[in-house]
Structure 1
Amino acid sequence: MTTTTEDATVTVLYCRDPLNERRVDAHFAAEARQLRAAGGRVLLVDHDALLAGDAERALARVPDGPGVVWYRGWMVPADRYGVLDAALRRRGGRLAVGAQEYRRAHELPGWYETFAGLTPASAWLPADTGRTPDPLRLTALAAGLPPGAAVVKDYVKSRKHEWDEACYVPDLGDAAALHRVVGRFVELQEEFLAGGVVLRAFEDFVAPLTREGTEAAAEVRVWWRDASPRLVTAHPDSPVAEVVTPDLAPVREAVEALGCPFVTTDLALRADGVWRVVEVGDGQVSDLRHGADLDAFVRILAAGQAPLRTPSASGTTPL
């Protein structure tokens, strides 16, 4: 594995198996094995303890002086991520992605203005867990968007699998329907509601076609390290592995402006042939599609260079 001098030994803090404190969570186990095989160091964090606010217990298996550490695991609320970074600093380490950088990439209000010309029009307001904003506030929020349909999400995630019930609003002008969908979304998110409620103007997306004329993945995930695109994969939810790589030049400019070291951008092809950024995320908590090139992914963390290759059978393209 090619590395820079600074990253000669990359250290990654993985979520541990909830049932075995000595093992990596099964979801990330293959990735951790690849990292070890490439000479990296694996440390373990208790994700449940971290969410509960007990960072010291979460880091019980981390030795003092761990140095610069990447986190790689399940999503962490931005405030808890900051607590994790502070706890690591007390042990003589720090997270490779700072707390402010993490929040900026992880939450829509942090990245939206930077990507505004590339992503659906959006508006948001803070909301507490279990409390739906009143209809007047939602109507005022919707007034700032183009008329028509919209999707509902929080600062981090939607509930697209409950599309009609808790995600899609056919007409923002229908105040009753808007309040109903937002209310159901807040109800289903329960304590996992992140930040508040976001309304995103609905755009019609289509699956791109490969050179052979077959449908490729409808949504692609681009992995960026230091504003350089390193890997393109199908979205983890895509039933199709093969990807068509869009022109990334305008997205690169936005990623550079965002100024975060490890970012993912999810792109989809609008019906008029324009690629759009539908989501931005911190790469540490972005899911990697099953079957993706783990060697290429480990190179991202270790800042290694990978040559441009045609998509593999897994449908991933190292860049």
Structure 2
Amino acid sequence: MGTGYLFCSDPLGARRPDPVFAAEVVCARATGGGIALVDHDALLAGDAGAALARVPRASGPYWYRGWMVPVARYADLARALRARGCDLLTPARDFGRAHELPGWYDVFADLTPRSVWRAAPPGEPPSAPELAALTAPLGPGAAVVKDFVKSRKHEWDEACFVPALADTRRLSAVVRRFFALQEDSLAGGLVVREYEPFVPGGEARVWWVDGEPVLTTAHPDSPAELPAPDLSSVRPAVRALGCRWVTTDLALREDGVWRVVEVGDGQVSGLPTGADPSALFDALTRAGSRGRSDGRERTDGRASCG
């Protein structure tokens, strides 16, 4: 059975893919991939059965390709697909390891800013004494605040950047504001990362399939910039993580060293405007036909979506 792609459906028309993924649907079809649709709103609401109502039984295996979902909802998706005789090419345990910082941090510790974290439910930020104890290993310097998946970097001064961790009052204020803005979308809990100064515009997103970099794009926040990062130290870490389809966001530090600022599950990572996904979908279709491989087979083919 061929490789399938489970795209999010259009909220305004359940029979068609979300327009955001239109170019990717074309590429998936050009490489021979099958297409099925999932209702993202129903999945988030906890009704995975309804979310998969349009997925044919005993079809797949599938790469999910769509909007972010919490780890627990992805696990629901995997179970509901199995009940329909289908399967996901990225198991739920691997989705969690790539999607949330605590899952990938130890593997990338030498390549990424030092970080500490603790689980916390939405609306319950740690107290000032708890924050002081949590961040003590980072020292007194600057830091950034995020949850297990995302930051609020567009509210940099109020909900992301802490000029000095020694200022526990300021740290606590930033964390409280971050929790207030995240509301129920808080993923996992709190992460505090040591601040490192990066070159403006020096950020790239690298797409990896079975341990190989198959596409390098701009970061979605800076689509006009396309650096060429050094991947020599990143490749062993990606392979050690062992997840089949991941992204790494790399940024050039002011001292000229490339650093990993985020790792993500490729199924829910965004492509920047104007990026050509042909090479990515060619690699995914080949990888899907191999099943769950050991991550060492190269995927060098290309397909045109033109």
Give the shorter-chain TM-score range: over 0.9
- Alignment counterpart, residue 219 of structure 1, candidates 203, 207, 213: 203
Superposed, 1:170-319 pairs within 5 Å as 170-207=163-200, 217-241=201-225, 243-303=226-286, 305-306=299-300
Letter in 1 for 2:23: A
Q: What SS does the aligned partner of 1:144 have?
A: helix
One of 98, 104, 108 as aligned partner of 2:101? 108
- CA shift, 1:10, in A, is 1.9
Q: Is 1:45–1:59's contact at 8 Å kept on the other side of the alignment?
A: yes
Which residue of the partner structure matches residue 49 of structure 1?
42
Equivalent pairs counted in the alignment come to: 291
Alpha-carbon offset, residue 33 of structure 1: 1.8
| Alignment map for 1:4-15 (pairs within 5 Å) | 9-15=2-8
Q: What's the CA shift for 1:244?
A: 2.5
Structure number with higher helix proportion: 2
Aligned counterpart, 1:60: 53
CA distance in structure 1 between the partners assigned to 2:279 and 2:28 by the alignment: 11
Distance 1:97 1:179 in 2: 37
How far the C-alpha of 1:92 sits from its partner, in A, is: 0.7
Q: Equivalent of 1:21, from 14, 26, 41?
A: 14
Alignment of 1:64-213 (within 5 A): 64-207=57-200
Kept in 1: contact 2:141–2:165 (CA 8 A): yes
SS of residue in 2 equivalent to 1:221:
strand
Deviation sequence 1:154-182 (CA, Å, 0-9, x none): 00000000000100000000011000000
The answer to whether the Cα contact below 8 Å between 2:9 and 2:37 also exists between their aligned partners in 1 is yes
Cα distance in structure 1, aligned partners of 2:12 and 2:301: 39
Task: Write the deviation string for residues 109-160 of structure 1: whole angstroms up to 9, x where unpaired.
Answer: 0000000000000000111111111111111111011331000000000000
Give CA-to-partner distance per residue, 1:278-310, whole Å, 9 cap, x none: 0000000000111111211211311373469xx
The whole-number CA distance in structure 2 between the counterparts of 1:272 and 1:307 is 36
Paired amino acid for 2:239 = E
Gaps of 5+ in 2: 288-298
CA apart distance, 1:67: 2.8
Task: Spell out, residue by residue over 1:69-109, the C-alpha distance to the aligned partner (whole angstroms, 9 max, x if none).
Answer: 10000001001100100000011111100000000000000
Structure 2 partner of 1:214: none
What percentage of aligned pairs have identical amino acids? 59
For residues 219 and 122 of structure 1, what CA distance do their matches in structure 2 show?
Answer: 20
The CA deviation at 1:34 is: 2.0
Rounded Cα–Cα distance in structure 1 between residues aligned with 2:269 and 2:223: 18
Tell me if structure 1 keeps the 8 A contact 2:205–2:250: yes
Q: Show CA shifts across 1:10-34 (max 9, x none).
A: 2000000001000101111111122
Q: Using the alignment, how far apart are the partners of 1:114 and 1:203 within structure 2?
A: 19
My pick for the range that moved more, 246-255 or 280-289, is 246-255
Give the RMSD, CA atoms, in angstroms: 1.4
Q: TM-score, normalised by structure 1?
A: 0.89
Residue identity opposite 1:160 in structure 2: K
What is the rounded CA distance, in whole Å, between the counterparts of 2:144 and 2:88 in structure 1?
33
Distance 2:117 2:58 in 1: 40
Q: Tell whether the 8 Å contact from 1:150 to 1:168 is kept in structure 2 after alignment.
A: yes
Moved over 4 A (4+): none
CA distance in 2, matches of 1:295, 1:275: 26
TM-score by length of 2: 0.92
